[in-house]
Amino acid sequence: MGSSNNKKFNKNRYMDSSKFNKYVSKYIHGNNVSSIAHDSINSNSIKSESKLKTIQKNELINSTKSIVEKTNSVSKLNQSQIERKHYVGIVVFDGERFLLLHRVLNWSGFEFPKGGIEQGETQEEAVKRELYEETSIKNFEIITKLDEFNFYDGAKKKNSLISNYLVRVSSNSKVNLNNAHVLDDKVVFEHDDFKWFFPEEVVAKLRHKNAKETMKKAIDYLGLCVKIGGKNGA
């Protein structure tokens, strides 16, 4: 009995070849579909990752370009500021009259004392040095800073900035021109004369428009009532 049952069991445990082949085919097909789907997912994942890296790379390139452009812009601005010469102008008032110097270097006409600010020098220090170098006046009082403006220095062929100050000196101040310069191995003089002018005449004596405007501001600040160009100054 045991032998018969065993034979029956063994017989039933085996499927015929056709069923077996179908089973194997189904198994293989299922695994292939799963494998294909898995490969497809992996492929899409790789493509997405590659696309993300490309986007990040382009963003990095654009960011770098922007930084370089900003750096170049700042560099050009700094270079422009370095190349621009800064001057101080000095409107000298003795309580009654204004001092003008007669210029002969590069152009001819009256101007108030002025000069370039040296490296490491403040504007106030430049006022003190330039006033002494051009007029020999040591004692003065800075009343106020009148204005500042840009202008083109034709002699040096560069854009420049001048800050103008109003200073008060003693009415008995003595002026000595001391403005020799060495230019092209030659000693030249910036000014050949000086004069004190009353408020009503000083503006007309100045040659340049910007200097005239600065002088008008000085007259107005001092509260001098004078006729300038047919009008009363405050």
* Structural domain for 70, as ranges: 17-80
pTM, whole model, 2 decimals? Answer: 0.62
122 and 72 belong to one structural domain = no
Asked whether residue 119 is domain-assigned, the answer is: yes
Asked whether residue 1 is domain-assigned, the answer is: no
75 and 136 belong to one structural domain = no
Asked whether residue 12 is domain-assigned, the answer is: no
Asked whether residue 11 is domain-assigned, the answer is: no
Asked whether residue 164 is domain-assigned, the answer is: yes
Domain with residue 181: its CATH number is: 3.90.79.10
105 and 157 belong to one structural domain = yes
Q: How confident is the model at residue 76 (pLDDT cuts 50, 70, 90)?
A: very low
Alpha-carbon distance 90 to 22, whole Å? 109
Asked whether residue 104 is domain-assigned, the answer is: yes
160 and 222 belong to one structural domain = yes
70 and 134 belong to one structural domain = no
29 and 103 belong to one structural domain = no
98 and 55 belong to one structural domain = no
Instruction: Give the model confidence (pLDDT) of 129-167 as tens digits.
Output: 999 999 999 999 999 999 999 988 776 678 999 999 999
Q: How confident is the model at residue 109 (pLDDT cuts 50, 70, 90)?
A: very high
Q: Considering its fold, how many domains does the chain have in total?
A: 2
